Amino acid sequence: MTESVLPPPVIDSARLTAYAYADGDVEFTDRITLLVGEGERLERLGRVPCLAISVNYYVPGDVLLMFCDAQWNSKGVIAFTTVDEAKIKAERGYRGITSRWVASPYSDEQVADFLRDVYEVDPNAEWWKAMCSFCGNEAEGQCVSAARATICAACVDKFYAILHDRGAGA
């Protein structure tokens, strides 16, 4: 087994529940089709060295099977409704991974500290929701975020109308 990095308690806004290293006697079967990329540049994800099962903060009840690189950066994700379903799918693509799953070693307090220190959020707030910096509402659907500001589609429409009306009157 190669030197392994312990996963963080939260990966891509999802709390770690279990993890496994896909090395040694774990056989990559290539029986999971997971396309990654953007637009027309989609490609099939191949073997990854680490798998994580996490609970999605944003969608309660969503169990995520995360395909990660050696530093636990997520390269692809498949959502399930149970941890058992995620483990069955993982075994389909990585024969022998079932015996490799390790429960997350992190307590609620350690997760909260991680969220404060790394994500710079209040772990008791609904920090995963995108809130519009202008109207204060949850930015559902399309929104634009940059640095520490987010604008929802409704505010974009309002600002466009204001700018358009001013432009027409000039």
Domain ranges across the chain? 10-119, 129-170
Burial of 20 (0-12, 13-18, 19+ CB in 10 A): buried
Evaluate if residue 84 carries a pLDDT over 50: yes
Mean pLDDT of 51-67: 92
What local confidence, expressed as pLDDT, does residue 157 receive? 85
Evaluate if residue 3 carries a pLDDT over 70: no
Evaluate if residue 104 carries a pLDDT over 90: yes
Task: Scan for tokens 């498949």, then name that residue.
Answer: 78
Average pLDDT over the chain, rounded to whole? 88
**Structure tokens given for 128:** 């995963």
What local confidence, expressed as pLDDT, does residue 134 receive? 83
4-28 pLDDT, tens digit each: 899 999 998 899 999 999 998 999 9
Mean pLDDT of 70-75: 96
What local confidence, expressed as pLDDT, does residue 167 receive? 60
Evaluate if residue 1 carries a pLDDT over 50: no
Mean pLDDT of 83-110: 97
Mean pLDDT of 91-99: 97
What local confidence, expressed as pLDDT, does residue 98 receive? 97
- Asked which of 85-99, 128-142, 151-165 is least confident by mean pLDDT, the reply is 128-142
CA nearest neighbour of 13 among 126, 137, 128, 90: 128
- Number of other residues whose CB lies within 10 A of the CB of residue 108: 10
- Asked which of 70-74, 81-85, 95-99, 161-165 is least confident by mean pLDDT, the reply is 161-165
